[in-house]
Structure 1
Amino acid sequence: MNLPLKNVKVLEQGTFITGPCAGMMLADLGADVIKVETPGSGDPYRTYQEGHFSPHFQAYNRNKRSVALNLKSEDDKKIFDQLVAEADVFIQNFRPGAAERMGAGYERLSEINPRLVYCSISGFGKDGPYRDRPSYDSVAQALSGFLGIVTDRERPRFLGPALADAITGIYAAYGVLGALVSRGTDGKGRLVEVSMLEAMAHFAIEPFTALFALGQAPVGLDRPRLAQAHILKTRDDKLVAIHLSSPEKFWDELTEAFDAKHLREDPRFATRLARIDNYEALGEELNAITARRDRAEWATIMEKFDVPFAAVNEVEEVVEDPQVNHLNLIVPVEKTGDDAADRAVRPAVTVDGEPFLNVRPAPRLDADGEAVRRNVAEGKGWPELAATARRLEEAAQ
């Protein structure tokens, strides 16, 4: 398909999740992303579990090339500078000051390439009292207020996925795309900066607005209570989620589906506000009903009555879900070894009616190093890199 970013060249010097996620978002839209890694070890996320190609690394580094460059070496630094000179975008997620120390700071790279969109991702921002603190996903979730909103105060827990890391990477890609559009108008590069703290605070914009408008922000279970959302257990020990929201019709449909006229007549649940006030009691009543049938039976019944619901799927169940399969959300990936994934979740967007079905596996460390070096030595530009790589691969065969 005609990928939206097919002519955009991205140099990513990212580690772990935030920078690599930003690079992946652009790569998924067709950008040619070269990941610059440290010789020998590479991105530390490669070894997050045993081996050198962890599934965590694979998740955020698909559709990219890899070159290992030692920026303390003059020869490698020249190769790096040549890539910078041709790049449209540079992404790094080091602590403030680290990129400058290794010769990859904004001032230096923008002198090499004034049209460069330079993206710097940090934990807390480029300056301020927290500037030099280490930041990870859990820290950003907590400091931004997000964790205080979603966690149960009686049983406080982190959410499983690395939300703050991934969301920051998505915000970084969003900033880069805006800068590229701006550059298309005036031809000037831009410095795009985003921190995990800023990204997560913006992601939680609704409770902040409630605080500023009403003087009180929601905490813990306030959101599911207000949305009348419940997670219920069925007879076969599976979970189903319902979300009744504000239209009264969904409450009516649920009580019809559950054959629970007595709940409609109960003064504790007679109105939406009453159901909010008696959220826990209503949950107990609904759980007593769902315990009578298996989840598949309830799914058939609730769909018939137009109740907003979904099975709380395990990951392996999502892969087999009929709607997921209809959307071709899971796509095959070339398997490059026993430790490599053979499938991936495709990019979420569809352009001109076409989903992005072709996903290339994450690269092995320095997989494109020889092609990059050969290209530079022969005086060829970045657009010829793919041809050089193919030529070397054919010669090796």
Structure 2
Amino acid sequence: MNPQNHSSARGGTQPLSGVKVVDLSRLVSGNMLTHVLADLGATVIKVEPPRKGDELRAWQREGMSTYWLAYSRNKDSVELNLRTGDDMARLTVLLADADILVENFRPGTLERMGLGKDRLNALNPKLVVVRISGWGQTGQFASKGGFGSLIEAMSGFAAMNGFADLPPVLPPFAMADSVAGIYGAALALAALHGQRGNANASVQEIDLSLFEPLFSILGPQAAEFQLTGKSTPRSGSRSPTHAPRNVYKTRDEKWVALSAGMEGTLARLFEGIGYPQGLQDPRFSSHEARLKNIDALDALIQGHITQLTLPEALEFFAVRDITAGPVCDIADLLEHPYIAESQLLVDQVAPDGRTVSVHAAPYRINGQRPPIRRGAPALGQDNTAWFGAAKPSAEAGPAAAAQPT
């Protein structure tokens, strides 16, 4: 099958059918970016080093590459040894008619590989290049390792996450990489839109750090510090902006989450827990007063919730139109009617034949979720489709220092 037919055979009529993406990235950030594009119908060609492939394949549970299974569906895999001339030539063939190139090497690596902007511009002036790094392509931090945990610590996230009397808490998933990847998908498509129909197009480079997108979603931290002189404190499940907002333990040892900052909701809550004068109580009569007296407010709510089982608590909130819901773990969600009704989990067969559930595309277009057109590919599964009978070149030549950020 020639590459053009290979591209269209599984693209269908999805929004990004006909868009060709070459993904040189490793681990989460680039894979998240191209995961978004692939689910929308783009042909994503994962370029992987021989034998071991993308390091994401090594993130396994019970011998299964679960992250690879979830985030590399709808993609192609080719094995190329980019330390050899033959395979670099094959890469340039892919890039010659590509729309988007994604990489997350250390800054300067692409140039050392002979793929700086001038070379890419000569090869394909309509190319959009998304360059992901920890701290950006320039500046004193450019050469610093940029793994997500460092960004989650330095961005301010860890300092505001957790409880005041306990250490700062890093997220239990690749938050910085994931946020950057989703930002990167939008940026790549915006740049691609600008390239279309532009007779004087030149390569568009997007400098995307892991730090800046995460920093941007943490709220107006700088403005609030300048106004108050105080950093956002760690407050557990409470909110620094409104109250009540917390999790409360039920009689059957479950948890329910409540967010009731609006006065109408609060009035119904106070009435329901048997304290109808709540909004007249000076401790709870204003937004500022409730934040100041949050311990007393939480104690009042918890005193009522502790008498109820989780189903009873959910019914209590539902009949009063109070914004509350259960705290679920994945075991709960696998049996939850919302998940079943929305068909958010779909079965996928792993390369070893086992079947597990993965998330479907997390949106609908005209009432339909984009399909999983194929499962995550085995390493080098699509070499023949893109290069014929050619095999990856043997290890040779100087290292390209192609390290993921």
Place the TM-score, normalised by the shorter chain, in its bin.
0.7 to 0.9
The answer for the alignment partner of 1:202 in structure 2 is 216
- 1:137–1:165 CA contact under 8 A, matched in 2: yes
The structure 2 residue matched to 1:305, chosen from 320, 331, 345, is 320
Compare 44-53 and 308-317 and name the one that shifted more: 44-53
Q: How many residues align?
A: 375
Is the counterpart of residue 30 in structure 1 residue 33 in structure 2?
no
- Paired with 1:217 and 1:349, the residues of 2 have a C-alpha distance of 36
Change (3 A) 1:255 1:51: closer
- Paired with 1:336 and 1:275, the residues of 2 have a C-alpha distance of 54
The answer for the alignment partner of 1:99 in structure 2 is 110
Equivalent residue of 2:76, what SS? strand
- 2:159–2:169 CA contact under 8 A, matched in 1: no
- 1:53–1:364 CA contact under 8 A, matched in 2: no
- 1:331–1:357 CA contact under 8 A, matched in 2: no
- Paired with 2:389 and 2:271, the residues of 1 have a C-alpha distance of 68
Change (3 A) 1:120 1:44: same
After superposition, the C-alpha distances for 1:279-320 in whole angstroms (9 at most, x for unaligned) are: 123223322221111111111121111011111110122232
- Paired with 1:355 and 1:233, the residues of 2 have a C-alpha distance of 36
- Paired with 2:62 and 2:78, the residues of 1 have a C-alpha distance of 19
After superposition, the C-alpha distances for 1:92-124 in whole angstroms (9 at most, x for unaligned) are: 011112222233444333321111111100000
TM-score (norm 1): 0.87
**1:51: Cα distance to partner?**
7.8
AA matched with 1:13: L
The structure 2 residue matched to 1:234, chosen from 250, 259, 274, is 250
Equivalent residue of 1:10, what SS? strand
Q: How does 1:268-279 map to 2 (within 5 A)?
A: 268-279=283-294
Change (3 A) 1:127 1:308: same
- Paired with 1:358 and 1:59, the residues of 2 have a C-alpha distance of 10
- 1:333–1:360 CA contact under 8 A, matched in 2: no
**1:185: Cα distance to partner?**
4.2
Change (3 A) 1:252 1:355: same
**1:214: Cα distance to partner?**
6.0
The answer for the alignment partner of 1:15 in structure 2 is 26
Equivalent residue of 2:119, what SS? helix
The answer for the alignment partner of 1:161 in structure 2 is 173
AA matched with 1:234: T
Identity value in percent: 30
After superposition, the C-alpha distances for 1:196-228 in whole angstroms (9 at most, x for unaligned) are: 111112122432343456665533239714222
- 2:148–2:174 CA contact under 8 A, matched in 1: yes
The structure 2 residue matched to 1:149, chosen from 160, 165, 187, is 160
AA matched with 1:251: L
- Paired with 2:233 and 2:196, the residues of 1 have a C-alpha distance of 43
Change (3 A) 1:224 1:14: same
The answer for the alignment partner of 1:389 in structure 2 is none
- Paired with 1:330 and 1:296, the residues of 2 have a C-alpha distance of 24
Q: Which of 1 and 2 has higher RCO (CA within 8 Å, sep 6+)?
A: 2
Runs of 5+ unmatched residues, structure 1? 378-397
- Paired with 1:53 and 1:103, the residues of 2 have a C-alpha distance of 36
The answer for the alignment partner of 2:386 in structure 1 is 372
- 1:65–1:363 CA contact under 8 A, matched in 2: yes
- 1:12–1:91 CA contact under 8 A, matched in 2: yes
AA matched with 2:142: R
The answer for the alignment partner of 1:330 in structure 2 is 345
- Paired with 1:209 and 1:325, the residues of 2 have a C-alpha distance of 42
The answer for the alignment partner of 1:386 in structure 2 is none
Change (3 A) 1:78 1:213: same
TM-score (norm 2): 0.85
- Paired with 1:112 and 1:261, the residues of 2 have a C-alpha distance of 72
User: Comparing both structures, which one devotes a greater share of its residues to helix?
Assistant: 1
- Paired with 1:107 and 1:201, the residues of 2 have a C-alpha distance of 32
Change (3 A) 1:39 1:50: farther
- 2:134–2:148 CA contact under 8 A, matched in 1: no
- Paired with 1:107 and 1:61, the residues of 2 have a C-alpha distance of 30
AA matched with 2:164: R
- 1:27–1:33 CA contact under 8 A, matched in 2: yes
Is the counterpart of residue 186 in structure 1 residue 198 in structure 2?
yes
The structure 2 residue matched to 1:249, chosen from 246, 257, 264, is 264
- Paired with 2:316 and 2:389, the residues of 1 have a C-alpha distance of 62
The answer for the alignment partner of 1:258 in structure 2 is 273
Compare 117-126 and 141-150 and name the one that shifted more: 141-150
Change (3 A) 1:97 1:52: farther
